[in-house]
């Protein structure tokens, strides 16, 4: 079984590449982030045409998540239970579903913006709600994973230059402590370092030739429980999908399971 996560940075803009990638990669389940569309605008028909169904949590604007599957889609949970609001809005950043033998959450963790910004405090509260929401599945016997754009680099090795990020979000002790608390529920990072190259980044800014210069970050993660981690046979970042015209600024992260 092949499971992946991908921040597509607008599913409308990325749809031709997304459909082609699903077919060429043989992915069974894809967790999508930053759909930037309403639920009504989501391309259900185009996905059905190639054998996939989707559950969507989206309201338009800048967020939105989905789970796309060709192996079943059941027990869907829309939104983060007891999740915090930002400026009185419950943002569409989390969705759970059972796909065949595996249960997944697709998450788009708040960016945080700046350390002294209210969005940063919101980000930490959001992590607390996520940790509480997944604890039961994380400790269970069914393969389970939380996949998505975490907007946190777990370690200094996950950014191209630590000096550039000094005093900025994504690398602070508070954010990394939130990740550690999430792992404390029984989850582990199932994508090893190094992979087939020294720095398996997953995100590169569109500006200043960041991708050609490999000035990236590893912020798209797959955290699985023990049954999920034990079933992993391979994992990789599909850097090729970051190349060329019309690419997202994130690359897909792919995990193969023997389940």
Residue 194: cis peptide before it, omega within 30 degrees of 0: yes
Catalytic residue selected from 28, 137, 149, 220: 149
Q: According to the annotation, is 116 in a ligand binding site?
A: no
Show the CA angle centred on residue 127, arms to residues 149 and 227, nearest 5°: 70
**Cβ–Cβ contacts within 10 Å for residue 196, how many?**
8
Q: How many residues does the chain have?
A: 259
Q: According to the annotation, is 189 in a ligand binding site?
A: no
Q: According to the annotation, is 7 in a ligand binding site?
A: yes
Q: Is 108 a catalytic residue?
A: yes
Q: Is 149 a catalytic residue?
A: yes
Catalytic residue selected from 108, 122, 150, 203: 108
Euclidean distance between CA atoms 187 and 222, whole angstroms:
9
Query: What tokens does 16 get?
Result: 């031709």
Show the CA angle centred on residue 208, arms to residues 206 and 210, nearest 5°: 60
Using a 10 angstrom Cβ sphere, with 0-12 exposed, 13-18 middle and 19 or more buried, the burial of residue 51 is exposed
Task: Measure Cα distances from 123 to 116, 175, 222 in Å.
Answer: 12, 8, 19
Q: According to the annotation, is 149 in a ligand binding site?
A: yes
Catalytic residue selected from 137, 158, 250, 256: 250
Tell me the binding residues for Mg(2+): 7, 34, 149, 151, 249-250
**Numbered residues of the known binding site:** 7, 34, 149, 151, 249-250
Residues forming the active site = 108, 149, 250
């Amino acid at each position: 079984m092949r499971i992946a996560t991908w921040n597509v940075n607008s599913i409308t803009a990325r749809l031709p590449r997304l459909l082609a990638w699903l077919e060429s990669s043989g992915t069974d389940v894809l967790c999508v982030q930053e759909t930037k569309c309403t639920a009504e605008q989501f391309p259900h028909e185009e996905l059905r045409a190639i054998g996939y169904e989707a559950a969507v949590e989206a309201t338009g604007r800048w967020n939105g998540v989905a789970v796309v599957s060709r192996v079943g889609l059941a027990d869907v949970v829309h939104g983060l239970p007891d999740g915090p609001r930002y400026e009185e809005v419950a943002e569409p950043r989390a969705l759970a579903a059972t796909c065949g033998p595996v249960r997944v959450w697709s998450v788009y963790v708040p960016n945080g913006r700046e350390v002294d910004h209210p969005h940063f405090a919101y980000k930490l509260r959001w992590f607390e709600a996520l940790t509480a929401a997944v604890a039961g599945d994380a400790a269970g016997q069914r393969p389970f994973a939380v996949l998505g754009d975490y907007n946190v680099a777990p370690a200094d090795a996950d950014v191209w230059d630590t000096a550039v990020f000094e005093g900025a979000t994504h690398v602070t002790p508070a954010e990394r402590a939130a990740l550690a608390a999430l792992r404390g529920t029984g989850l582990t990072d199932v994508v090893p370092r190094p992979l087939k190259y020294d720095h398996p980044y997953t995100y590169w800014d569109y500006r200043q030739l960041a991708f050609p210069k490999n000035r990236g970050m590893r912020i798209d993660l797959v955290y699985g429980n023990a049954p999920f981690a034990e079933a992993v046979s391979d994992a990789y970042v599909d850097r090729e999908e970051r190349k060329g015209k019309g690419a997202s600024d994130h690359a897909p992260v792919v995990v193969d399971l023997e389940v």
